[in-house]
Amino acid sequence: MTPVRSAAPIRQTFAVAVIAATLTACSSKPPATSTGEAPPEQVQGIVHVCSSCHGMGGHSISPTFPRLAGQQAGYLEAQLKAFHDHTRADPHALTYMWGMAAQLTDPLIKGIATYYSMQAPVPGTPQDPGEMAAGQRIFVEGLPDRDVPACQGCHGEKAEGMDAIPRLAGQHREYLQEQLRNFASNARANEVMHANSAPLNPAEISAITAYLAAQ
């Protein structure tokens, strides 16, 4: 029997080829301005490729791929550079984003980040009321007995984020759970988030992500 191959590498290879073709097609065109910005048509071409996973306007449907609409531009820019430099190496980063970001220039990264930051965020999805209430307590108060600070101290009162600190409100619950587990295990290296997520048990991760997904 012929083994079934995952479609993910095939889709990524095709998408990378499309990115390369887009960059080649626009390479002879000057920047839109004298400030080093990427040409708008180039940004839109790459965003079109991104939409195959992240949805139109960054409104992702699959929890494998984070919602980008309304995300902080500084955070998106930092993550795209980390994918490009291979300094973010969690499993999905390696599988999907290393190849996708390989040919992105700094001006193009900035243009993509700006585009998604200006899109309307996806509204939150209601979750179990009990879990949401438990998650809200962690978000607002932290877990002082385990030196886990209140999430809102960095991510904002409405989980909207700021600059390089991501927006969490309305994100896929499953995606948030995966990232907390990645931080806890150091699969995704971040000293602050490792310290804050490692003490959380599965029930607390479930609660905090239920609250955030509903915002």
Q: Consult the annotation and say whether 92 binds a ligand.
A: no
Q: Which domains does the chain have, with CATH numbers?
A: 7-117 (1.10.760.10), 129-213 (1.10.760.10)
The H or E element spanning position 95 is: none
Closest CA to 204 of 155, 156, 143, 135: 135
Angle between helical axes of 106-117 and 73-85 (0-180°, round to 10):
140
Q: Taking 60 as the threshold, does the pLDDT of residue 20 lie above it?
A: no
Residue-wise pLDDT for 83-108, tens only, equals: 999 999 999 999 999 999 999 999 99
Q: Consult the annotation and say whether 84 binds a ligand.
A: no
158 burial type by CB count under 10 A (0-12 exposed, 13-18 middle, 19+ buried): exposed
Residue 198 C-beta-side C-alpha neighbours within 13 Å: 12
Q: Taking 80 as the threshold, does the pLDDT of residue 57 lie above it?
A: yes
Q: Consult the annotation and say whether 26 binds a ligand.
A: no
* The predicted structure's pLDDT at residue 25: 45
SS3 state at 165: strand
Percent of the chain beyond pLDDT 90?
83
Mean pLDDT for all residues in the chain: 89
Return the exposure string of 136-153: e unless at least 16 CB atoms fall within 10 Å of the residue's CB, then b. bbbbeebeeeeebebbbe
* The predicted structure's pLDDT at residue 104: 97
Q: Consult the annotation and say whether 59 binds a ligand.
A: no
Residue-wise pLDDT for 126-170, tens only, equals: 999 999 999 999 999 999 999 999 999 999 999 999 999 999 999
Residue 213 C-beta-side C-alpha neighbours within 13 Å: 21
